[in-house]
């Protein structure tokens, strides 16, 4: 594992962003840590990129699954729920200091929405979701799904009612 450090000026980030983006597109990145250093007009982002070296690392990145646009797969209401689940995943991951995919992948979040998951057993039936994930995170995600579906139903009912004015 190797490290590469970047400084991206807050006021004029273009050159630093370009260097970072170019580096990331050419290497197998395993982790990125960033920190804003505030110093008035001299403020900058300090970015540490952890990457893997060697032919195996490049081969592994070539065999990645193609990127999925969930906005194309999910309908409008499902996509809104999917985004809310991603926000919840991000909050929980940050609070525990783990990467978001350690909780659930985007594919698993989409399955929760599409399959209208409403129980721990149904959650565990999603490929790749084991009992430990269900025990750790299941309740929070099931509660969020329930809230979002109730909200969606309430909005649908409001739209279905004729205006009583």
Q: CA 117, 123, 126: angle at the middle one, nearest 5?
A: 105
Q: CA 161, 164, 165: angle at the middle one, nearest 5?
A: 140
**pTM of structure:** 0.57
Quick one: how far is CA 18 from the chain centroid? 23
The mean of the pLDDT values for the chain is 86
- 35 pLDDT above the threshold of 60: yes
Residue identified by tokens 């990467």 is 99
Give residue 120's pLDDT band: very low, low, confident or very high (50, 70, 90). Answer: very high
């Amino acid at each position: 594992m190797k490290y590469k450090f970047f400084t991206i000026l807050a006021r004029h980030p273009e050159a630093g962003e370009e260097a970072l983006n170019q580096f990331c597109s050419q290497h197998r990145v395993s982790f990125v840590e960033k920190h804003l250093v505030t110093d008035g007009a001299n403020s900058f982002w300090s970015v540490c990129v952890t990457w893997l070296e060697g032919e195996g690392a490049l081969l592994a990145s070539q065999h990645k699954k193609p990127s999925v646009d969930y906005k194309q797969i999910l309908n409008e209401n499902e996509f809104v729920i999917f985004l809310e689940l991603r926000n919840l995943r991000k909050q929980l991951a940050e609070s525990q200091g783990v990467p978001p995919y350690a909780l659930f992948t985007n594919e698993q979040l989409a399955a929760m929405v599409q399959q209208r998951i409403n129980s721990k057993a149904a959650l565990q039936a999603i490929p790749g979701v084991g009992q430990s994930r269900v025990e750790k995170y299941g309740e929070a995600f099931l509660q969020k799904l329930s809230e979002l579906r109730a909200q969606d139903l309430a909005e649908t009912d409001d739209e279905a009612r004729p205006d009583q004015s």
